[in-house]
């Protein structure tokens, strides 16, 4: 009987020991978890943040592709890795130069004419067709997959900037009509296009790309199919003729889908900076920003959090790319005014400026945040300033 009682006491004792050990283990574990949580509030010197990517590319300094009818230079992620959401092309056509019939499978095309005159044709999946002439300051937008062609009307060379809403797009990998027909059997072409097989013996076997054609007549010819419905969503917008937003240091014209309904994936801006101007500190919550410098020079500074800041100077023919949400500002440099073509990969324009943000907070909060006096806070701007002189 004594041995049974002792055995029961041993069991009770071992349970008490077990509970005691378990409690001690839990306490140690809790303490061990509490330490990192306390330390995590302190700066961690060993924590590494990747440096900012390069955000400058000299597109006009690249080699590009040259044909008898013109030339093209591109900047996609292969040349400019940061530019993942947009690709750009600088294209020139000689008088009569024809960017042959083609379409883009993965990207819409937005264009701004810098100089010269262009005639375009385009067809939509609904069968609606349009022919339109473009001059300096005009914009076109062709949705993804819409077949189109471009031809220079002369008398001078045409230069225009194309921007595509996918940074992986390549201008040198488009779907061109000569490439397709050149790799299709003449028998199939004859059956489809109502011509004898012999008619296709002389067509190009590979992509012609930019052809040297004849200068089109001043008055456009009628389309071959006169029964095609008239296009109800014009592909043309006269950006240069917009009334600009004017500031002490310059002005800007903004075309979003609100002003140009067919333009459903991007917003375009022409920004003019007077000598010495400052495009105030700001960011864009909803879009990346792609810039092409048309004339003049400027210095761009970007802020990418974690103390990461980078500055680059830009001159004509160079591109800047600023990621969505990155703070930035632009300082005009030199005696010549600066003109910048800007694209955002959103059909809606959004911006938050540092000045406007500070104006949207109580004075005491701003004073506490910076250690300013009430007098200093009172001198801060209360609204966005756009472009400062």
Active-site residue (options: 74, 92, 94, 99): 99
| Residue 191 appears among annotated catalytic residues | no
Q: Which of 282, 272, 293 is nearest to 350 (CA)?
A: 282
Active-site residue (options: 92, 102, 282, 339): 102
Active-site residue (options: 100, 130, 171, 252): 171
Q: Which of 166, 132, 378, 127 is nearest to 290 (CA)?
A: 166
Write out the two tokens for 27: 């306490």
| Residue 171 appears among annotated catalytic residues | yes
| Residue 282 appears among annotated catalytic residues | no
* Rounded Cα distance, 221 and 187, in Å: 31
- C-alpha to C-alpha distances, 339 to 56, 105, 336, 348, nearest whole angstrom: 17, 31, 10, 22
- Please name the helix (run of DSSP H) or strand (run of DSSP E) that holds residue 119, with its range, or none: strand 118-123
| Residue 102 appears among annotated catalytic residues | yes
- C-alpha to C-alpha distances, 7 to 10, 75, 354, nearest whole angstrom: 5, 84, 77
Active-site residue (options: 109, 130, 207, 280): 109
**Residue 275 burial class via C-beta count within 10 angstroms: exposed 0-12, middle 13-18, buried 19 and up:** middle
Active-site residue (options: 146, 148, 235, 328): 148
Which residues neighbour 17 within 8 Å (Cβ) at sequence distance 6 or greater?
Answer: none
CA 98 to chain centre: 26
Active-site residue (options: 104, 119, 146, 279): 104
Examine residue 155 and say whether the peptide bond preceding it is cis (omega within 30 degrees of 0): yes
| Residue 306 appears among annotated catalytic residues | no
Which residues neighbour 331 within 8 Å (Cβ) at sequence distance 6 or greater?
Answer: 277, 278, 279, 298, 299, 300, 301
- Please name the helix (run of DSSP H) or strand (run of DSSP E) that holds residue 193, with its range, or none: helix 186-193
* HEC per residue, 276-309: CCEEEEEECCCCCEEEEEEECEEEEEEECCCCCE
Q: Would you say 274 and 297 are in contact if contact means Cβ atoms under 8 Å apart?
A: no
Q: Would you say 76 and 83 are in contact if contact means Cβ atoms under 8 Å apart?
A: yes
| Residue 168 appears among annotated catalytic residues | no
Catalytic residues: 99, 102, 104, 109, 148, 171
């Amino acid at each position: 009987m004594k041995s049974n009682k002792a055995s029961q006491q041993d069991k009770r004792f071992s349970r008490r020991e077990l509970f005691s050990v378990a409690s001690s283990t839990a306490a140690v574990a809790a303490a061990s978890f509490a330490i990192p949580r306390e330390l995590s509030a302190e700066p961690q010197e060993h924590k590494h943040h990747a440096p900012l990517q390069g955000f400058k590319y000299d597109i006009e300094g690249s080699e590009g592709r040259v044909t008898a009818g013109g030339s093209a230079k591109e900047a996609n992620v292969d040349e400019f890795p940061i530019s993942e959401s947009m690709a750009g092309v600088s294209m020139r056509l000689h008088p009569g130069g024809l960017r042959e019939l083609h379409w883009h499978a993965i990207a819409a095309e937005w264009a701004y004419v810098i100089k010269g005159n262009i005639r375009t044709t385009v067809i939509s999946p609904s069968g609606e067709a349009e022919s339109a002439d473009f001059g300096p300051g005009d914009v076109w937008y062709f949705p993804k997959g819409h077949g189109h062609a471009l031809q220079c009307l002369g008398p001078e060379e045409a230069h225009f900037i194309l921007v595509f809403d996918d940074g992986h797009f390549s201008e040198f990998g488009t779907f061109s009509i000569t490439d397709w027909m050149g790799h299709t059997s003449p028998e199939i072409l004859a059956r489809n296009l109502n011509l004898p097989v012999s008619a296709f013996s002389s067509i190009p076997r590979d992509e012609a790309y930019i052809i040297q054609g004849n200068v089109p007549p001043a008055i456009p010819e009628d389309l071959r199919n006169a029964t095609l419905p008239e296009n109800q969503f014009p592909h043309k917008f006269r950006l240069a003729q917009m009334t600009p937003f004017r500031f002490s240091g310059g002005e800007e014209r903004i075309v979003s889908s609100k002003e140009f309904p067919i333009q459903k994936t991007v917003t375009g801006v022409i920004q003019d900076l007077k000598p010495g101007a400052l495009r105030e500190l700001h960011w864009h919550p909803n879009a990346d920003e792609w810039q092409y410098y048309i004339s003049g020079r400027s210095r761009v500074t970007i802020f990418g959090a974690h103390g990461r800041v980078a500055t680059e100077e830009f001159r004509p023919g160079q591109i800047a790319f600023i990621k969505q949400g990155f703070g930035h500002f632009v300082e005009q440099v030199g005696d010549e005014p600066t003109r910048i073509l800007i694209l955002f990969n959103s059909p809606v324009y959004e911006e938050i400026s540092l000045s406007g943000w500070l104006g949207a907070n109580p004075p005491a909060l701003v004073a506490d945040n910076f250690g300013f006096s009430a007098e200093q806070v009172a001198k801060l701007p209360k609204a966005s300033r756009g472009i400062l002189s």
